[in-house]
Amino acid sequence: MGSIREKYTLGKTVFSCEVFPPKKDQIIEPTLQKLKEFKDISPDFLSVTYGAGGSNAGHAVEIASFINNEIGVDVLSHITSVGFSREKLDAGLKTFKENGIENVLALRGDRPAYMTDDEYAGRDFEHASDMASFIRDGYPDFTIAGACYPDKHFEAASYEEDIANLKKKTDAGCSFLISQLFFDNDRFYKMLDAMKHTGINVPVSAGIMPITSARMLGTTVTLSGTSVPKSLSDIIARYGEDDEAMKEAGLEYAISQARDLLDHGVNGIHLYVMNKPEVARCIFDEIR
Ligand code: FAD
C-alpha cells in the first residue's frame, strides 16, 4: 500500500472514512465483518482510531492490517502520544511497520481517566508536533498526517495561536491534515484562509459527521466542542422525536455540507461514520 499523501496530488477530491476498533476486552470478529462492507464503497482510505494511552492498540493494529490486506483499501492508523515515553511510541511504530502500516495520523490525545499521575508525567511528547518530528526522523518512509480544528482547539488561548501551532505541526513533518468535525462550513473556509496566511500549504480533508439522531448531536458537541448552526438545531427541533425522519434530515444536512465543500474545491472529505458503511454509502452515492 502506498503513501496516502500522493492521493492528494492527483487532482481529485480524496474521500475517506473513520472507523474504530472494539475495546480491548471485546471480540474483534463482528467489527471485521462490518468493515468488509466498505470494500465496494471504495473510499480512498480508511482511518483507524487509537485509544489514548494505547489500551486497545492490539485491536487497532489488527483492524488496520485487515483493511490493508483483506479489504484492499489504504489505511491511515491514528496513534496518540499522551503518557508515552520515546520507547513506547517507538514500539508502537515498529509494530505498525511490521504490519505494513506506514501512513499514520500523529495525535497528542487527551489524558484518559485511568492514566495515573506517574504514567502521565512519564510522557516524552508534549504535542503532536513533537511526535511528528520523532516519527519523521526515525521512520522516514512513513507518511505523517495531523489534526486541525476549524472551531479552534479547546486548549488554545486564541484562534491565531492555534493556527501558529498548526504551522509547527506541518513544519515537523505532517504532510496533510484532517479536520475535526464541524457543522458550519464557513468555519472551515476561515481556517483554510488563516492557514494560507500563515504559510501552511498542505492538503486538508474536511471532517463531516452525519447526525442521524438527536442524542448523537449532544454527545458530538460535548466531545468535539464544535458549534451548532441554527439550520441544524432547527432540524433537531423539527425531527428529533421521529427516528426515521431525523436520520433522513441529518443525512441530507451532511450531503449539503459536502456539496458546498466540493463546490469550494476542498482537497478531501473525511466522513466520521464510525463503522457504519451504510451511512458512508448514502453520502458518497450522492456526492461522488
Ligand atoms: P496538539 O497538536 O498537540 O494540540 C493540542 C493543543 O496544543 C492545541 O491547543 C494546540 O494549539 C497546542 N499546540 C500544538 N502544538 C503546539 C506546540 N508545538 N507548542 C505549543 N502548543 C502547541 N484522540 C484519540 O485519543 N484517538 C484518536 O484516534 C483521535 N483521532 C482524532 C482524529 C482527528 C481528525 C481529530 C481532529 C482528533 C482526534 N483525536 C483523537 C482527538 C485529539 O487527540 C484531541 O483533539 C487532542 O486534544 C489534541 O490532539 P492534537 O494532536 O491536535 O494535539
DSSP string, 143-171: EEEEEE-TT--TT-SSHHHHHHHHHHHHH
18 assigned to active site: yes
Kindly state if the Cβ of 168 falls inside 6 Å of ligand 1: yes
Residue whose grid cell is 455540507: 257
Q: Where are the domains of the chain?
A: 4-210+268-275
Q: Rounded to two decimals, what is the model's pTM? A: 0.98
**Contact present, 43 and 15 (Cβ < 8 Å):** yes
Indicate the CATH number for domain 4-210+268-275: 3.20.20.220
Element (H, E) at 178: strand 174-181
Pocket probe for ligand 1: among 17, 82, 148, 153, the residue whose CB has the most ligand atoms within 8 Å is 153
- Cα of 149 from ligand 1 centre, angstroms: 9
Helix (H) or strand (E) holding 61: helix 57-66
Q: How far is the CA of 76 from the centre of ligand 1 (A)?
A: 16
Report the alpha-carbon distance of residue 46 to residue 14 in Å, rounded: 11
| Helix, strand or coil, per DSSP, at residue 204 | strand
Residue with cell string 479489504: 71
Task: Give the integer Cα–Cα distance in Å for 181 and 168.
Answer: 22
Q: 163 vs 67, 167, 211, 280, CA distance in Å?
A: 33, 6, 27, 30
Q: Which of 6, 18, 29, 248 is catalytic?
A: 18
Read off the C-alpha cell for 137.
526522523
**Which residue's CA lies nearest to atom 46 of ligand 1?**
109
Q: What is the pLDDT along the chain (288 residues), one digit of tens a residue?
A: 789 999 999 999 999 999 999 998 999 999 999 999 999 999 999 999 999 999 899 999 999 999 999 999 999 999 999 999 999 999 999 999 999 999 999 999 999 999 999 999 999 999 999 999 999 999 999 999 999 999 999 999 999 999 999 999 999 999 999 999 999 999 999 999 999 999 999 999 999 999 999 899 888 988 888 999 999 999 999 999 999 999 999 999 999 999 999 999 999 999 999 899 999 999 999 998
